[in-house]
Amino acid sequence: MVEHRPWLTFIAHAVLIFGAFILAFPLWVAFVASTQSAVSFNQIPMSLLPGGHFIENYSAVLTRGVASAGAVPVVTMLMNSLIMAMMIAVGKIAISLLSAYAIVYFRFPFRKTIFWLIFITLMLPVEVRILPTYGVVASLGMLNSYAGLSIPLIASATATFLFRQYFLTVPEELLEAARLDGAGPWRFFRDILIPLSRTNIAALFVILFIYGWNQYLWPLLVTTDPNYYTIVMGIQRMVTVADATPQWQLVMATVILALLPPVIVVVGMQRLFIRGLVEIEK
Amino acid sequence: MAEIELDGVTKAYPNGVVALQKVDLKVADREFLVVVGPSGCGKSTLLRLIAGLETLSGGHVLIGGRDVTRLEPAQRDIAMVFQNYALYPHMNVYNNMAYGLRNRKTPKPEIDRRVRETACILGLETMLERKPRQLSGGQRQRVAMGRAIVRSPAAFLFDEPLSNLDAKLRVQMRGEIKRLQRRLGTTGVYVTHDQAEAMTMGDQLAVLRDGRIEQKGSPLEIYRRPATAFVGGFIGSPAMNFLDGRIEEGGRKLRVAEMFSIVLPGAGLPEQEGRNLTVGIRPEHFKINGNAASVELPVELVEPLGGQTLIEVLFGKKIVTVSLDGAIAIKSGDRIPLSVDPAQLHLFSLENEVRLDCIAA
């Protein structure tokens, strides 16, 4: 739609700027708050310009952590979150690719039934099955481990479904050409199907990484050892301290740090993602 | 280099559709067989059975004397060119051609030599680094050919490879494929629904209908002596005209559409005396002249093509197409005198559409 009416352009921009402001302002406030000292933070109204405690606050949370919250350095928590999110994202993609490949390209009994069983699990988010899952993980001795943090979240109906839909659009002749070229099932999967799916893989990686990064309830349940705390649950621990005022300027610094990795993933993958979209060809 | 033999090949799908019924077919070494037929006649299935992409319900497939009925496609030593080319979109031209060789564990220098040689034959040397999407339709077609040639298989299989090209390119590629096949001397099976491709490309032609081979022979043989009315109507362009006829006077004369009579060559068809049959006349076999055997017919439509003129005339209640050489000054509404050489009539039985030949005198 191309329209040339100045007032329309003006309104469009006004709406966009307003929207951007609504999104960006809280982030700005969080950043400003993370640069204040404990005293200046509590002044009302708080200054909207960055204070002078940037280095002090950030080095405090990164290296020492917040004493009242178990004093886990944010670096450790960031590492834990990164490991968990990567394991979840990579694991989900690997499992979903394989299961979608099986469902689309192999004829075996109860193929349809199995697909629908997988599909039905979409209706059972982590929160619904959290108690039995906890029981299983606990009995397997996986509490306080990266495996316990990520494996129960790896099975993914959504990703399986998306890959299935994509595989169904790959022309049958490609498989036939590959068979004539002497490619077995594994080679076809590795040489043809995965490279063709790279756009989907990139897009899913972004979504799943953020999903894994933002996990809150599950890490809260399965970790009691501070060495396995993740950043998102760590923030919660900083806020709900007993017998003390939360050190908000440190909490805000942690929040800003927790935001960075997902932003980096989105920005970094976006270029690959768009390039993949432009290259799409069947 | 190998001959291909189909022995009683039957294909029935689980839903009960029988695509092929006891087909026997032999393609000699170095021969180019074109399988032609309307859509749904089973011609693609035939090709896919040879390739091993489908399993047979009965019969045997032999390539080079070796029974390959139960072998995987890759073990049959054949290469196939698909209608949509089926190039690997993420690989460049070089890798598209090299992929099959790599899977066969061909040594690297050998792969390189063969790919470059093939690219040279097909004029693709400058495009080896390009991806399929950066190529035109004709170039993609060549890459698909290259992927087949590079493996130097025992046989090529073509599944309507030209139907995605525009008309001009199609004629050009038609010649190229034919020349290439001659030059390489590889046995080929080529499936098409286009009768012009069938006529021009094949050493041998097999006309398929409803899962059976209706006729097999050289293109001109089939053009001159179609075994059934279906073959007559399918091969030749514009299509053969069909009229009702009756044999009279002890088989010596043919009455066509109750409008005129023709003396049949030789002793005629004495056994068909008094019977009705189908008369097939090719548009190009009509002559315009005013001799005794001609009939005057009203012109419905004139289509001048330059080199020839197509005229639709009203033959009783039927529209009949007449093709005359050159540009002829006729307009619709005119009446023109037409005649046919009795030797160029095709007579088919009404019951089973089978060709009836006049007895020599």
Which ipTM value was assigned to this complex?
Answer: 0.83
Answer yes or no: are the C-beta atoms of B143 and B119 closer than 8 Å: no
Q: Is B108 on the interface with A (CB under 8 A)?
A: no
Whether cis (ω within 30° of 0) applies to the bond prior to A45 is yes
The set of residues, in sequence order, having a beta carbon less than 8 Å from that of A133 and lying 6+ positions away, is A126, A152
Q: Is B71 on the interface with A (CB under 8 A)?
A: no
| B200 and B331 housed in the same domain | no
Identify whether B18 is part of a domain.
Answer: yes
| B228 and B324 housed in the same domain | no
Do B103 and A195 lie within an 8 Å CB cutoff?
no
Q: Is A183 on the interface with B (CB under 8 A)?
A: yes
Provide the percentage of residues in chain A whose pLDDT is more than 70. Answer: 92
pLDDT tens, position by position, A236-248: 888 877 666 778 8
Identify whether B223 is part of a domain.
Answer: yes
Q: What are phi and psi of A245, to 5 degrees?
A: -80, 135
Identify the band that residue A1 occupies on the pLDDT scale cut at 50, 70 and 90. low
Q: Which of A23-37, A218-232, A234-248 has the lowest mean pLDDT?
A: A234-248
pLDDT of residue B361: 66
Number of structural domains (chain B) is 2
Identify the band that residue A235 occupies on the pLDDT scale cut at 50, 70 and 90. confident
Do A182 and B132 lie within an 8 Å CB cutoff?
no
As a whole number, mean pLDDT of residues A46-57 equals 80
pLDDT of residue B31: 92
Averaged pLDDT, groups of 10, chain B, 361 residues long? 88 89 92 91 92 91 91 91 91 94 92 93 90 90 92 91 88 88 90 90 92 93 94 91 88 83 82 87 86 80 90 89 88 87 89 85 66
From B87, which residue of chain A is nearest by alpha-carbon distance?
A: A174
Beta bridge partners of B244: B278
| B262 and B175 housed in the same domain | no
As a whole number, mean pLDDT of residues A141-150 equals 91
Average pLDDT, chain A: 86
Identify whether B278 is part of a domain.
Answer: yes
Residue A281 has pLDDT above 70, yes or no: no
Average pLDDT, chain B: 89
DSSP per residue, B47-82 = HHHHHTSS--SEEEEEETTEE-TTS-GGGGTEEEE-
Q: How many CB atoms lie within 10 A of CB A230?
A: 28
| B215 and B254 housed in the same domain | no
pLDDT of residue A278: 59
| B78 and B138 housed in the same domain | yes
**The last residue of a domain, from among B212, B234, B256:** B234
Q: Which residues in chain B have Cβ-Cβ distances shorter than 8 Å to A279?
A: 133
| B201 and B285 housed in the same domain | no
The CATH number that applies at residue B331 is 2.40.50.140
Answer yes or no: are the C-beta atoms of A66 and A238 closer than 8 Å: yes
Identify whether B361 is part of a domain.
Answer: no
Identify whether B68 is part of a domain.
Answer: yes
| B125 and B261 housed in the same domain | no
Beta bridge partners of B57: none
As a whole number, mean pLDDT of residues A179-197 equals 92
| B192 and B210 housed in the same domain | yes
Distances (CA, A) of B267 to A146, A208, B249, B271: 97, 86, 11, 11
| B143 and B87 housed in the same domain | yes
Q: Which residue segment(s) compose the domain that B275 sits in? A: 241-356
As a whole number, mean pLDDT of residues A82-111 equals 93
Q: Which two tokens stand for residue A54?
A: 């940037």
**The last residue of a domain, from among B182, B211, B234:** B234
- Which A residues, 203 through 262, put their C-beta within 8 Å of a C-beta on chain B? none
Length, in residues, of chain B = 361
Rounded CA-CA distance B110/B101 in Å is: 9
Query: Between residues A2 and A227, which one has the greater pLDDT?
Result: A227
Do B89 and A282 lie within an 8 Å CB cutoff?
yes
* Structural fold of domain A34-278: MetI-like fold (1.10.3720)
pLDDT of residue A192: 93
Query: Between residues B48 and A53, which one has the greater pLDDT?
Result: B48
| B178 and B198 housed in the same domain | yes
Q: Which residues in chain A have Cβ-Cβ distances shorter than 8 Å to B82?
A: 173, 176-177
| B165 and B250 housed in the same domain | no
pLDDT of residue B292: 63
pLDDT of residue B352: 87
Q: Are strands B212-217 and B204-209 parallel, antiparallel or unpaired?
A: antiparallel
Identify whether B8 is part of a domain.
Answer: yes
Answer yes or no: are the C-beta atoms of A23 and A263 closer than 8 Å: no
Answer yes or no: are the C-beta atoms of A65 and A74 closer than 8 Å: yes
**The last residue of a domain, from among B234, B261, B284:** B234
Q: Is A195 on the interface with B (CB under 8 A)?
A: yes
Do B74 and A181 lie within an 8 Å CB cutoff?
yes
Length, in residues, of chain A = 282
Do A180 and B132 lie within an 8 Å CB cutoff?
no
pLDDT of residue A175: 93
| B178 and B254 housed in the same domain | no
Q: Which residues in chain B have Cβ-Cβ distances shorter than 8 Å to A183?
A: 74, 99, 103
The model's pTM is 0.80
